[in-house]
Amino acid sequence: MQGLRHIRRPGLAPVAVAAYIGAAIWFTSSGSFANPAATLGRSFSDSFTGIAPASVPAFAAAQLLGMLLGMVLAGVLYGTGRASGEPNAAEARRTG
């Protein structure tokens, strides 16, 4: 949620997440398989947002790949949140 922090509106995070998931369910054909746990759960349902059990591994792999690409893109667009002179936790333990 660094984007909302960047524009000084972190309180909108719950609304942004809810709006994303609601829009993905109602306005896309995917039914908003928002995370691998939801995908697995929906493989046991018999509804319009269900998923075939054989499709679960591919969906989960695509979700994890999307997460990694999203993290990289967010880092490029908004930075990592650390000042350039601030050590990360691993460096602090080694030099500590």
> What tens-digit pLDDT sequence spans the chain (96 residues)?
567 777 778 888 888 888 888 887 777 666 566 678 878 888 888 777 678 888 889 988 888 898 899 899 988 888 776 665 556 666 666 665
Give pLDDT, residue 46. 77
What's this model's pTM, rounded to 2 decimal places? Answer: 0.51
What is the pLDDT, as a whole number, of residue 29? 60
Phi, psi of 48 (to 5 degrees): -65, -15
C-alpha 41/C-alpha 73 separation (Å) is: 28
In whole angstroms, what is the distance from residue 25 CA to residue 17 CA? 12
C-alpha to C-alpha distance for 59 and 36, rounded to whole angstroms? 8
How many angstroms separate the CA atoms of 61 and 87, rounded?
32
Q: What is the pLDDT of residue 88?
A: 63
